[in-house]
Homo-oligomer: A and B are copies of this chain.
């Protein structure tokens, strides 16, 4: 901080430095006093991601976390981290830094926030351990803005170590374990118990930026298509889907329930002439399932629209919405995708435009050709869904497709039969990387609600993020996940 508070700052320096009267750099470092909105300095803080050769030889200010610090003779190397980006900084005894200042820098606890003034210098050899590989920062001033605790419950370097496939699931029940290369990784429960620190990792920073992008692209696309965003109540008077898996709420002197889906309210909006609506909001399921893909609370991306003549109008609109999301993510979130892939290597997500629509009988033929024995009116098992995903990828080069015209026998009684083939139905699922993300059907005319022409659809935000990025646990894509055993943080 500037000179006005310099005297107070110096009082907070460690005693050993205070004693060293000969410290010629003593105004250039220290622990800053509390920010009390006293001054608004003119200083511009540069983003770490902006530190490139284009700024070579400029003197700049940066505010970042101390990711690591390592003293080496008269020098101290710091890695400064800001969200997904980091840069190396050097404090070296010389005109600007005294040996006390180097020692001060070397003793700053990891994860403390610092303000640094420094010169951007081009380096001859790329710095492989940082995202900003072509420059380093030669420190002229360093002030601690927020001092971190000396011991952290998990190490950020351990938390971003690349994991081999399947290991994530395996390590859920281990506290700290060695990866296949013999180095420490951090298990899911430790991460979640210390979520604030875990969310600082470059991987988490990228996952939740990309997730924000999914919501943004979903809305952008639908608003451009003439949809209206609605807000539906979560406290309801009767369980929405039969009464199973519903949470009960004490509501004044009575009971109420948490909505398992916004379906009823979306349908009411269609009957109320809104024609095309969507909502994004929490959905609650009281299922005692402790798997990698179940949560008791998740975020539903929900669509409801009336169609004029044929339910394929709706299917096409939804498939196109997902395609617009995938395209938008690949156009605008390449940095985030690359950051996540460093820890979780994964094939880029492939899709076709327009989306592949496969009829159920075609899928059956593909599975039979691959040696699977299945009856014409038999449903797909989870392993067969996965296998079909791989077969479709080989044949059509897409990770996303629609499976249409399910046998009527495997769908609920209110599903509309196909008018041309009474054994088939006007119903379909959508798949990403061989996992179902959405199930839809035309419903038989309901005279009370007039929902004949409406289709409902809900997509789980966490699951779509997980499958797009090829992650292995839905808890990685829920900031503060809820499951039967977890209500914190």
Seen from chain A, the residues whose Cβ lies within 8 Å of a Cβ on chain B are 34-41, 43, 45, 63, 65, 82-83, 146, 195-200, 204-205, 208-209, 211-212, 215-216, 219, 223, 228-237, 247-252, 256, 258, 265, 268-269, 271-275, 280-282, 284, 286, 288, 296-297, 299, 308-313, 416, 418-420, 426, 442, 445, 449-450, 452-453, 461, 478-482, 484, 487-489
Given A208-B274, A212-B229, A219-B219, also A39-B234 (CB < 8 A) = no
> In the complex, what distance in Å separates the CA atom of A223 from the CA atom of B234?
26
A304 to chain B, nearest CB (A): 13
In the complex formed, the residue of B with least CB distance to A215 is B229
> In the complex, what distance in Å separates the CA atom of A43 from the CA atom of B199?
52
- Residues on B with beta carbons closer than 8 Å to the beta carbon of A313: 40
- Residues on B with beta carbons closer than 8 Å to the beta carbon of A197: 272
Given A35-B453, A216-B219, also A236-B82 (CB < 8 A) = no
> In the complex, what distance in Å separates the CA atom of A309 from the CA atom of B297?
37
In the complex formed, the residue of B with least CB distance to A280 is B280
Contact A299 B231 (CB under 8 A): yes
Task: With a 10 A CB-CB cut-off, give which of A198, A209, A223, A272 has the most chain B CB atoms.
Answer: A272
Selected contact of A296 from candidates B41, B235, B281, CB within 8 Å: B235
> In the complex, what distance in Å separates the CA atom of A148 from the CA atom of B352?
42
* Subset of 22 A-B contacts with CB under 8 Å: A35-B453, A36-B416, A36-B419, A36-B426, A40-B309, A83-B274, A146-B452, A196-B271, A197-B272, A199-B273, A211-B231, A216-B229, A231-B478, A233-B481, A235-B482, A237-B488, A248-B249, A249-B250, A249-B258, A252-B288, A265-B479, A281-B282
Selected contact of A308 from candidates B45, B228, B230, B265, CB within 8 Å: B45
Given A219-B216, A256-B487, A479-B265, also A196-B272 (CB < 8 A) = yes
A224 to chain B, nearest CB (A): 11
A242 to chain B, nearest CB (A): 18
Contact B232 A479 (CB under 8 A): yes
A199 to chain B, nearest CB (A): 3
- Residues on B with beta carbons closer than 8 Å to the beta carbon of A269: 199, 479
A349 to chain B, nearest CB (A): 21
Selected contact of A309 from candidates B39, B236, B237, B247, CB within 8 Å: B39
Contact B251 A250 (CB under 8 A): no
- Residues on B with beta carbons closer than 8 Å to the beta carbon of A219: 216, 219
Task: With a 10 A CB-CB cut-off, give which of A271, A275, A299, A309 has the most chain B CB atoms.
Answer: A309
- Residues on B with beta carbons closer than 8 Å to the beta carbon of A482: 233, 235
- Residues on B with beta carbons closer than 8 Å to the beta carbon of A258: 235, 249
> In the complex, what distance in Å separates the CA atom of A486 from the CA atom of B275?
26
Given contacts A38-B420, A233-B297, A251-B487, 15 further A-B contacts (CB under 8 A): A37-B310, A37-B418, A37-B442, A39-B309, A40-B312, A41-B309, A196-B271, A199-B273, A233-B282, A233-B480, A234-B297, A235-B247, A248-B249, A249-B249, A269-B479
Contact B487 A40 (CB under 8 A): no
- Residues on B with beta carbons closer than 8 Å to the beta carbon of A297: 233-235
Contact A248 B250 (CB under 8 A): yes
In the complex formed, the residue of B with least CB distance to A255 is B250
Selected contact of A268 from candidates B196, B233, B416, B420, CB within 8 Å: B196
> In the complex, what distance in Å separates the CA atom of A161 from the CA atom of B237?
31
> In the complex, what distance in Å separates the CA atom of A69 from the CA atom of B302?
36
- Residues on B with beta carbons closer than 8 Å to the beta carbon of A280: 280
In the complex formed, the residue of B with least CB distance to A489 is B268
